Amino acid sequence: MTIEKILVTGGAGFIGSAVIRYLLRETGVEIVNLDKLTYAANPAALEGAERNRRYRFEQADIADGAAMRAILAKHRPDAILHLAAETHVDRSIDGPADFVQTNIVGTYVLLEAARDYWTSLPPEAAEHFRFHHVSTDEVFGSLGADGAFTEATPYRPSSPYSASKAASDHLVGAWHATFGLPIVSSNCSNNYGPWQFPEKFIPLMVVKAARGEPMPVYGKGENVRDWLHVDDHARALWLILTRGRLGESYNVGGRGERRNLEVVETICGIMDEMVPGRAHRPLLSFVADRPGHDLRYAVDFSKLSAELGWQPRESFESGLRSTVRWYLDHRDWWDAIGHYRQTRLGAVKAAS
Ligand code: NAD
C-alpha cells in the first residue's frame, strides 16, 4: 500500500520527532505533525523540518474532537500514526488525571474522529487507510527472572501510566473488532537516544553526572529493562504501518536487557572517559523505590522479525555511548529546560 500523507500525533515528542526525522530522510511521504506541545515536546528536535515542503504542523489536543475532525478534513491523510500521550510513569503516580485524559479519553476522541473520516473516504482510499496505535511493553506488567512478553501475554499493568496505555490498546482493538477501523498496533520496550526529555532514566543519569549531582537509582537498581535505540523503533513503526497485517499487534524490543544499576555504572564509565578529571561512580545514590515498580521487562519480537524482517541495528553499548556524547554536546538544550527541576517524582505511598 502507498501512503502519501501521514498524520503523526505527538510528533514533537521524543519518539515522534525521531519518526518524523526518519520519514523526512528515508521516505517521500508528506507529514502532518499534530501535537499539543506539552512540557514534554521538543520543537528543537524538528529544527529544519518547517522548511521542508513535505512537513506541516498543527498544534492541537487529541481530546478536542472538533479540532481532530477539522484537521483530518483539512489534510486528508492516508494514515494516522498515534504516539501522543502522557508518558512519564513517576508523573502518573503523582497525578494520574492527565494520563486518563490524554491516553484514554484522547485516544477515544481520536478514534471517533478517525472513524468518521474513514467512513467518509471513497472505497479504495478507505481500504488502504491505516490507524497505527503506538504502545508500550509496560501493559504486560512485570516478568520474573525468565521469559519474555509475546503478543499473547495477558495484560497486567501496574502503574497509572501503563493502565492508561492498556486501556487505549483495548479501545483501539475494539474499534477494529466492532467498527472495522483498519488498525495495526505495536508495543515497544524502553527507548533511549537523543532528545529524550531529561526526566527519563538514561538522560536523567547523564545530566546528573554532567552536573556532578547525585545520580538517583531506585531501590537497589535491580530492575531490568530491554533497551532499544529510538531510531530502531522509528524504522519498526514505519515497517509495521506500511506492511503490518491488518488488526494485528507487533512487539518491538531491543534484545538489550540490562539491570538499571548496570546501565548507570556503564554511563559512569563513559562519563569518566568523556569528561576526564572526575570519577562519576561516587555520585551513585540509592533512593526509595518507585511504588509498584515492575521488576523486569523483556520483549519477544520474533513475530515482527519473522513477518517483516525487522531487527535492531544499534547495539546498546554503541547506542549508549553516542547518546551520552549527544547529551554532553547539547547541554544548552537541557540546561534551558528549567521546569523539570529533577525533584523526586512518583514517590507517593499508596493510600492505605
Ligand atoms: P514524549 O512524552 O516524549 O512525547 C509525547 C508527545 O505527545 C509530546 O510532544 C506531547 O506534547 C504530545 N502530547 C501529549 N499530550 C497530548 C495531547 N493531549 N494531544 C496532542 N499531543 C499531546 O513521549 P515518547 O517517549 O516520545 O512516547 C511516544 C509514544 O510512544 C507514547 O504513546 C508512549 O506511550 C509510547 N512508548 C514510549 C516508549 C519510551 O520508551 N519512550 C516505549 C514504548 C512506547
DSSP classification of residue 289: P
Whether 15 contacts 234, CB under 8 Å? yes
The mean per-residue pLDDT over the stretch 252-272 comes to: 96
User: Mean of the pLDDT values across residues 204-223?
Assistant: 95
pLDDT digit string, tens, across residues 1-12: 589 999 999 999
Q: Can you tell me the mean pLDDT for 9-24? A: 98
Q: In the 3-class helix/strand/coil scheme, how is 39-108 assigned residue by residue?
A: CCCCHHHHCCHHHCCCEEEEECCCCCHHHHHHHHHHHCCCEEEECCCCCCHHHHHHCCHHHHHHHHHHHH
166 C-alpha to ligand 1 centroid (Å): 14
Give the predicted TM-score (pTM) of the model: 0.96
pLDDT tier at 130, thresholds 50, 70, 90:
very high
The band of 346, judged by pLDDT with boundaries at 50, 70 and 90, is confident
Q: What is the pLDDT of residue 266?
A: 98
Rounded mean pLDDT, 74-78: 98
Does residue 232 line the site of ligand 1, with CB under 6 A?
no
- Whether ligand 1 lies within 6 angstroms of the CB of 83 is answered as yes
Averaged pLDDT, 47-70? 97
pLDDT, position 351: 46
* Helix, strand, coil percent content, the chain, rounded in steps of 5: 45, 15, 40
CB atoms within 10 A of CB 214: 14
Q: Are 198 and 324 in contact (CB under 8 A)?
A: no
* Ligand 1 pocket member 63 (CB < 6 A): yes
The model's confidence at residue 292, banded by pLDDT at 50, 70 and 90, is confident
Do the Cβ atoms of 72 and 7 come closer than 8 Å? yes
User: Does the structure show a pLDDT above 80 at 264?
Assistant: yes
Q: Is the CB of 253 under 6 A from ligand 1?
A: no
Supply 30's cell numbers: 508528506
138 lines ligand 1 (CB under 6 A): no
Specify the pLDDT at position 340.
54
User: What element of type H or E holds 19?
Assistant: helix 14-26
pLDDT at position 108 is 98
The beta-carbon contacts of 310-314 under 8 Å, at least 24 apart in sequence, are: 310/235, 310/236, 310/239, 310/252, 312/228, 312/229, 312/232, 312/253, 312/254, 312/255, 312/256, 313/229, 313/231, 313/232, 313/235, 314/229, 314/231, 314/232
By annotation, the residues acting in catalysis are: 137-138, 161
Mean per-residue pLDDT for 253-279?
96
* Residue whose CA lies nearest to ligand 1 atom number 37: 136
Name the residue among 213, 345, 214 with its Cα closest to residue 285: 214
Is the Cα torsion angle 173, 179, 184, 188 positive or negative in sign? negative
Residue of the CA atom closest to atom 17 of ligand 1: 61
Contact (Cβ atoms closer than 8 angstroms) between residue 182 and residue 166: no
- pLDDT at residue 260 greater than cutoff 50: yes
Probe ligand 1: pick from 9, 14, 195, max atoms within 8 Å of CB?
A: 14
Ligand 1 centroid – CA 134 distance (Å): 9
CA–CA separation, 229 vs 336, rounded Å?
24
Q: State pLDDT tens for residues 307-340.
A: 999 999 999 999 999 999 999 999 999 999 865 5
Q: How much distance in Å is there from the Cα of 201 to the middle of ligand 1?
A: 15
From the CB of 14, is ligand 1 less than 6 Å away? Answer: yes
Check residues 302 and 145 and name the one with the higher pLDDT.
Answer: 302
- Residues 145-159: tens digit of each pLDDT: 999 999 999 999 999
Q: For helices 14-26 and 230-243, give the axis angle rounded to 10 degrees.
A: 70
What is the pLDDT, as a whole number, of residue 339?
53
Q: What is the pLDDT of residue 337?
A: 87
Instruction: Tell me how far apart the alpha carbons of residues 85 and 63 are, in angstroms, rounded to a whole number.
Output: 11
